[in-house]
Structure 1
Amino acid sequence: MSFDKVLNRIGGFGRFQKTLYVWICLPQIFLAFHMLVTVFTGAVPPHLCKSSQLLGDSGGSWVGLNFSNASEEICPTFQDVQLSQLNHSDVNIPINEHLMTSGSCKGGWEFSKEVFLSTIVTEWNLVCENATLNNIGSSIYMSGLLVGAVLFGALADKYGRRITILIGLAMQFTFGVGVAFAQNFYTYVLLRFVVGMTVSAVIMNAFVLGTEWTGPKHRMLAGVITDYFFGFGYILLAGVAYLIRDWRKLQLAISAPGLVFVFYIWVLPKSARWLMANQKHEEALDLIRKAALLNGKPLEENEIELYKSLKNIENLEPHQKYTAIDLVRTPTIRKQSLILFYLWFVNVLVYYGLSFNISDFGMNIYLTQMIFGLVEMPARTITLFTINRSRRISQLVFMAIGGLACLLTIFIPDDLSVVRTVLAMVGKFGISASFSIVYIYSAEIFPTVIRQNGIGMCSMCARVGGVIAPIISLLRNISHHAPMVVFGLCPLIGAALTMFLPETAHRPLPDSIDDVEGTGVSTTERQHDFYEGRPKQNPNISISTSLH
């Protein structure tokens, strides 16, 4: 008997599962906060160089300085500061010709406080020669997600989903609060790296825990619900950041509430599926009995004896051990694997590339953040209606929409900031929808014997895209439009490559490498009659990305 049959008996999405998803979805809001807060805490306000040697008795700051002529991207020398501003001040400022032509700022920087009271940039002068540190810090944070996925994934398989989630939430609160008190940039980066690890721990294992308790018919809906809560956090962050303009207070505001999750110790259940797989049958049976009772479908005594016979949650036990090498060993699977690796990489690269660089579009940063969050909702929803028609066409179209919209922004003048923001919003819509599709599409392309390896490698490629995303903005030093050119061309290449992938909608899932390579009779075809004329579908496949 499979565990999915047990779920169908006790209720695949009853009161027990709905309550579980409340506990799973609440942390998603705070995960969105931690993922995107650097849009505000790492923002670069308009700035100009200052020098006490030029200021005389002015107290160490410019008098009557007009920041409207300052740039967020071009490092001004003293020669760039309009002398007319100094001539109109009440302070008699002597001019030092050496300092006027110097390419570095020896007296520090003066930052506009019109939008932000403080950011890590204003506190640690992360501009000009130090500007790359800001981007590198964001990349190190994204590296934390990669390390966390590997580390906490292994811990969850060994010790369980629940305990890993609890550890992740506790560490996220501790190190998240610690970030707000970092005394220097390097401590800040180290603490953020650990926070990134905990984000992976919570996102990945909360998603798995929910999937393992939910029946096959409801996994699509349940997965989308978690994505909605991440999107809600995306939107809510704009309001919180608007009210709190100091980066330390903002970091504290998004981290300190994590303390409330201490009550998860008493309400978050273990995974009965994991317990069965680890030979803890009595404990699993006790959880199944409680879930059935809460769902209004209590078990009978004879059924309890039947469920005690469950020995393994897996239906397929391959005779041969497969590794990641099998993803590139044979020609067809190698071609499909490489394409899927690229699709995952590009989706995350562009998703976070756009999310981290919303200040580039010229509109109010808080309004743009809110709009980009709102786009998440229809993007996730529309895939529910398109994916069942065609996986390949849906993937291709949404990637093309995302790429074309990003590419078109380079032709829009800077003074038409609303048009540029709308196009960027369309690009974000396309990439978000594509992001939702690529997970289920990949799971259906990889044969069962290497499916887990395939998804794991795809996830690693996605994390690499996340690491590179903050670095792409450095291309602005070459050309102002260079980042959007990258975010436009990469998805278009991905859309073209998608044409070389097979259609999987309403098709039997491949079980073996021979099924894909066409060198043997499909295992699924041999089982066709047993499943009453319907091709066997793998109930353990989930179609939510949950890879934020």
Structure 2
Amino acid sequence: MNFDGILCLIGGFGKFQKILFVWICLPQIFLAFHMLVSVFTGAVPPHLCLSSGGGAPPPADFNFSRVAAVGVRRDGSCAPPSNHSGAAADGHPGGGCQGGWEYSTETFQSTTVTEWDLVCDSASMNNMGSSVYMFGLLVGAVAYGSLADKYGRRIIILINLAVQAVFGVGAAFAPNFYVYIAVRFVVGTSISGVIMNAFVLGTEWTGPKQRMLAGIITDYFFGFGYILLAGVAYLIRDWRKLQLAISAPGILFVSYIWLLPESARWLMANDRKEEAWELIRTAAQMNRRPLTKDLEMCQVHHMEEKTVVTKKHSFVDLVRTPRMRKQSLIVFYLWFANVLVYYGLSLNISDFGMNIYLTQMIFGLVEMPARTITLFTLNRSRKLSQLAFLALGGSACLLTIFIPNELSVVKTVLAMIGKFGITASLSIIYVYSAEIFPTVIRQNGIGFGSMCARTGGVLAPMMYLLRRISPQAPMVLCGLCPLLGSALTLLLPETADRPLPDTIEDVEGPELSGEGDGPP
């Protein structure tokens, strides 16, 4: 009897698993805080270049909204110092803003931009900070995935929750921008460590029939954190206090030392069967499914069985054979495109012209129906669901470039539809990937897919530097990348209601090339 068979006997989603998912889902709220807080802490308020002659700052009732980008040309370099009406002080090109910057405090008391003057020639530093954080996610995905396979899911989750709390609080006291992005990089690595291993821990304790639902539950809590952040940021307009508010409660997760169980499936795979069966007995009792005679016999069998040496597989197997290579490359691109556009939209909501807090809340609310609808479409077709939502998201993003800035509501609605499609598509790719890759290389495939996703996350903040070329360039990219992914999805197989492939031969069919087995 394999572990799925054991779960069927003790309950695949009973009281034990439901309590486990409470512990897994609570950190998701704070993960959303850390992932998206730069929308507010790194916001660029309307600003004005003061006269280099030490002129007086603008009056208290000065209308910054009329000169939201005064002193900045399209290429991002400083224009000549301007007076309070927004007109240039002289008629020839200027260099840096010698008199310093004055920022509107109507929306934000302070941000990292206003504290360290990350505007004009330094504007790219702000995008770089977000990319460094996303690079932390990439490093964390690579490092903590392998460490969790070696040392267990539980200990890696506990370590990363502690790192997230300590360094998150530390970011609120950063003395300069370089220390700030270094600390945020460490927070990023910890986010990956928690997201991946909490998801794996939950699915490894959940029965096959409930795994898709269990995965969506964790997504709901991330979406709830998305919405809640809008309210917290609205109440706390100072970036240091906001950073402290979203990080300090993480100290409470120290209680997980006593609450969070290890994965019994991982314990069995690592020849720690006594510990695994102790947890299985606990789960059976909590689920009111006491150990049966069949299960006791299964335990004896597991204790006595010897380790079977199997053929080793590596990343090379993902691209060694033609059909597997085609499917792998397409899936990797889908991971990249989904995350690039998801964070490209999520981290730049101020571009749509509406109130930043309202837009954040709307984008968070969109997450809920987007993730819910996949529960119904996935059962019908993985392929058509992926294709349709990518096409919807890409088309909506592309349409925003034709909407004038004066129609900010229309532009935001289209961006919201784009976010809906991409969020649904991102939920689907998790399930679709697990079913496309065969068992022998499934972990390799999903692991590399995650790396491609994090690469998209690293590039998402930098994508908005394309505004120097054209203001519409970022949204053109957000539209074309999903549409290309939608077309490529046509080349993938349907996996709904199909048995999972176990070997590469199952993917390639009877005429597997390169194996030298001869005709079937």
Q: Same fold (TM over 0.5)?
A: yes
In structure 2, relative to structure 1, the CA distance for the partners of 1:232 and 1:104 (3 Å cut) is same
**Mean alpha-carbon deviation: is it higher for 324-333 or for 173-182?**
324-333
Is contact 2:49–2:70 with CA below 8 Å preserved after alignment?
Answer: no
- 1:245 corresponds, among 237, 250, 253, to 237
Structure 1 residue 312, shift from structure 2 partner? 11
- Which residue in 1 is equivalent to 2:35? 35
- 1:71 corresponds, among 68, 71, 75, to 68
Distance 1:49 1:308 in 2: 77
- Which residue in 2 is equivalent to 1:488? 479
- Which residue in 2 is equivalent to 1:281? 273
In structure 2, relative to structure 1, the CA distance for the partners of 1:83 and 1:504 (3 Å cut) is closer
The count of aligned residue pairs is: 507
Q: Deviations over 1:498-543 (max 9, x none)?
A: 111111112232222222222359xxxxxxxxxxxxxxxxxxxxxx
Could you list the runs of 5+ residues in structure 1 that have no partner in the other structure? Answer: 87-94, 522-548
How does the TM-score come out when normalised to structure 1?
0.89
- Which residue in 1 is equivalent to 2:45? 45
Q: Deviations over 1:30-59 (max 9, x none)?
A: 00000000000000001011146242xx4x
Structure 1 residue 329, shift from structure 2 partner? 1.4
Is contact 1:406–1:488 with CA below 8 Å preserved after alignment?
Answer: yes
Distance 1:313 1:214 in 2: 24
1:465 partnered with 2:466: no
Distance 2:14 2:497 in 1: 27
- Which residue in 1 is equivalent to 2:301? 309
In structure 2, relative to structure 1, the CA distance for the partners of 1:442 and 1:300 (3 Å cut) is closer
- Which residue in 2 is equivalent to 1:474? 465
1:62 partnered with 2:87: no
* Alignment of structure 1 residues 262-411 onto 2, 5 Å: 262-300=254-292, 303-310=295-302, 319-411=310-402
> Secondary structure, in 3 states, of the residue corresponding to 1:310?
helix
Structure 1 residue 83, shift from structure 2 partner? 6.1
Is contact 1:277–1:311 with CA below 8 Å preserved after alignment?
Answer: no
**Mean alpha-carbon deviation: is it higher for 101-110 or for 220-229?**
101-110
Is contact 2:72–2:79 with CA below 8 Å preserved after alignment?
Answer: no
Distance 1:438 1:355 in 2: 19
In structure 2, relative to structure 1, the CA distance for the partners of 1:191 and 1:283 (3 Å cut) is same
1:201 partnered with 2:197: no
What amino acid sits opposite 2:115 in the alignment? E
Is contact 1:44–1:72 with CA below 8 Å preserved after alignment?
Answer: no
Distance 1:141 1:355 in 2: 15
1:106 partnered with 2:98: yes
Q: Deviations over 1:315-365 (max 9, x none)?
A: 9x7843221111111111111111111111000000000000100000000
Structure 1 residue 404, shift from structure 2 partner? 0.2
Structure 1 residue 66, shift from structure 2 partner? 3.3
* Alignment of structure 1 residues 143-182 onto 2, 5 Å: 143-182=135-174
1:417 partnered with 2:408: yes
Is contact 1:142–1:196 with CA below 8 Å preserved after alignment?
Answer: yes
Is contact 1:2–1:313 with CA below 8 Å preserved after alignment?
Answer: no
Distance 2:169 2:389 in 1: 38
- Which residue in 2 is equivalent to 1:528? none
Q: Deviations over 1:38-94 (max 9, x none)?
A: 000000001011146242xx4xx33364312323486166757356589xxxxxxxx
- Which residue in 1 is equivalent to 2:82? 81
Is contact 1:405–1:424 with CA below 8 Å preserved after alignment?
Answer: yes
In structure 2, relative to structure 1, the CA distance for the partners of 1:519 and 1:411 (3 Å cut) is same
Q: Deviations over 1:227-268 (max 9, x none)?
A: 000000000000000000000000000000001111111111
Distance 1:314 1:249 in 2: 56
- 1:216 corresponds, among 205, 208, 211, to 208
> Secondary structure, in 3 states, of the residue corresponding to 2:53?
helix
- Which residue in 2 is equivalent to 1:448? 439
Structure 1 residue 304, shift from structure 2 partner? 3.1
In structure 2, relative to structure 1, the CA distance for the partners of 1:308 and 1:73 (3 Å cut) is farther
**Mean alpha-carbon deviation: is it higher for 342-351 or for 511-520?**
511-520
Distance 2:165 2:358 in 1: 28
What amino acid sits opposite 1:487 in the alignment? C
How does the TM-score come out when normalised to structure 2?
0.93
What amino acid sits opposite 1:62 in the alignment? P
Distance 1:356 1:318 in 2: 47
What amino acid sits opposite 2:218 in the alignment? T
What amino acid sits opposite 1:4 in the alignment? D
Distance 2:348 2:389 in 1: 21
What amino acid sits opposite 2:470 in the alignment? S
In structure 2, relative to structure 1, the CA distance for the partners of 1:113 and 1:314 (3 Å cut) is farther
> Secondary structure, in 3 states, of the residue corresponding to 1:206?
helix
> Secondary structure, in 3 states, of the residue corresponding to 1:415?
coil
Is contact 1:16–1:294 with CA below 8 Å preserved after alignment?
Answer: yes
- Which residue in 2 is equivalent to 1:23? 23
Could you list the runs of 5+ residues in structure 2 that have no partner in the other structure? Answer: 513-520
- Which residue in 1 is equivalent to 2:515? none
- Which residue in 1 is equivalent to 2:516? none
**Mean alpha-carbon deviation: is it higher for 75-84 or for 3-12?**
75-84
> Secondary structure, in 3 states, of the residue corresponding to 2:48?
strand
What amino acid sits opposite 1:71 in the alignment? A
* Alignment of structure 1 residues 228-243 onto 2, 5 Å: 228-243=220-235
- Which residue in 1 is equivalent to 2:518? none
Distance 1:466 1:215 in 2: 31
Distance 2:379 2:499 in 1: 14
What amino acid sits opposite 1:63 in the alignment? P
In structure 2, relative to structure 1, the CA distance for the partners of 1:243 and 1:352 (3 Å cut) is same
In structure 2, relative to structure 1, the CA distance for the partners of 1:305 and 1:32 (3 Å cut) is same
In structure 2, relative to structure 1, the CA distance for the partners of 1:219 and 1:74 (3 Å cut) is farther
Q: Taking every aligned residue pair, what percent have the same amino acid on both sides?
A: 69
